[in-house]
Amino acid sequence: MARMLAEKVIVVTGGTKGLGRATAAAAGREGARVVVGGRDEQAGRETVEEIRRSGSEAFFVRGDLRRVADCEALIAAAATHFGRLDGLVNYAGILPASPLTETTEDFFDSVFDLNFKAAFFCCRFAVSAMLKTGGGSIVNVGSTHAYGGDYDRAAYACSKGALLTLTKHIAINYARRHIRANWLTMGWVATPGELDHRRSEGRDLRWLEEVAAKVMPMGRLQTCEDNVPGILYLLSDQSSQVTGVELHVSGGYFPRGSVE
């Protein structure tokens, strides 16, 4: 049986941890040639080795995507090494907490520089590469917070809202050039960043799971494994007529807001 992404060249930002790593490994199992972007060289090498064990080609590009030059270098490395670019998954990001009334300029800039600016310029260079070889697929990993956001996620929510607008912009303006852009709403996942934040509050995974059982309509946290199939589908030719969509893998949950 043919693998879903056979011979496609896929770049995954933030591909060394969490959903990014799970996506990169799964893309490799589905036959893609994968370029893993990130800052952690050890984790990058481990991810690449996992992909290679599945029989696919892969390599790691270290960079800080807050720098536009590193965004360009990541996309150029894939296009130069493999001769084309078929897919981009923008996962790199941070999830720091601060309510609107306490958000500083430095905090705002740190969130937007990675969550939106980096994705914007990775898309900019990816679209340019895809225009040369007949098209491709971009998947931007979003969040339920893009639709308003919790009380303590003001800048984060706005950064994801901007990313959703970028997704729609690419979908509308590049469909005739066979470049697709779609959005995956990632639900409440116990990512390393989420766990670090909860530990700073004196909480742990068990607390997360207990709260999720009460507030999530489908009764539990989501996992990376819940999200990966949707990303693979959006990267694949099976979704060749799908662009500009919002695929929600959130267990039916959307933040309702709160006052503290």
Q: Tell me the pLDDT tens digit for each residue of 131-166.
A: 999 999 999 999 999 999 989 999 999 999 999 999
Query: Has residue 24 been placed in a domain?
Result: yes
Query: Has residue 4 been placed in a domain?
Result: no
Amino acid residing at 228: V
**Rounded distance, CA 31 to CA 18, Å?**
21
CATH classification at residue 238: 3.40.50.720
Helices 118-133 and 68-82: angle between axes, nearest 10 degrees: 30
**Rounded distance, CA 64 to CA 163, Å?**
19
**Rounded distance, CA 249 to CA 226, Å?**
7
Residue-wise DSSP of 107-172: HHHHHHIIIIIHHHHHHHHHHHHHHHHT-EEEEEEEEGGGGS--TTBHHHHHHHHHHHHHHHHHHH
Number of domains in the chain: 1
Is residue 151 part of the annotated active site? The answer reads no
Query: Has residue 175 been placed in a domain?
Result: yes
By residue range, what is the domain housing residue 15? 9-187+222-244
pLDDT > 50? residue 216: yes
Query: Has residue 232 been placed in a domain?
Result: yes
pLDDT > 50? residue 259: no
pLDDT > 70? residue 258: no
pLDDT computed for residue 113 by the predictor: 98
What does the block give as tokens for 253?
Answer: 């949950």
Query: Has residue 107 been placed in a domain?
Result: yes
Alpha helices in the chain (DSSP H): 18-29, 41-53, 68-82, 105-112, 118-133, 154-174, 192-200, 205-215, 224-235
Query: Has residue 210 been placed in a domain?
Result: no
Q: Tell me the pLDDT tens digit for each residue of 68-119.
A: 999 999 999 999 999 999 999 999 999 999 999 999 999 999 999 999 999 9
pTM above 0.85, yes or no: yes
Query: Has residue 212 been placed in a domain?
Result: no
Query: Has residue 254 been placed in a domain?
Result: no
The single residue of 156, 174, 233, 253 carrying the catalytic annotation is 156
Q: How many CA atoms lie within 13 A of 239 on its CB side?
A: 25
**Rounded distance, CA 169 to CA 140, Å?**
12
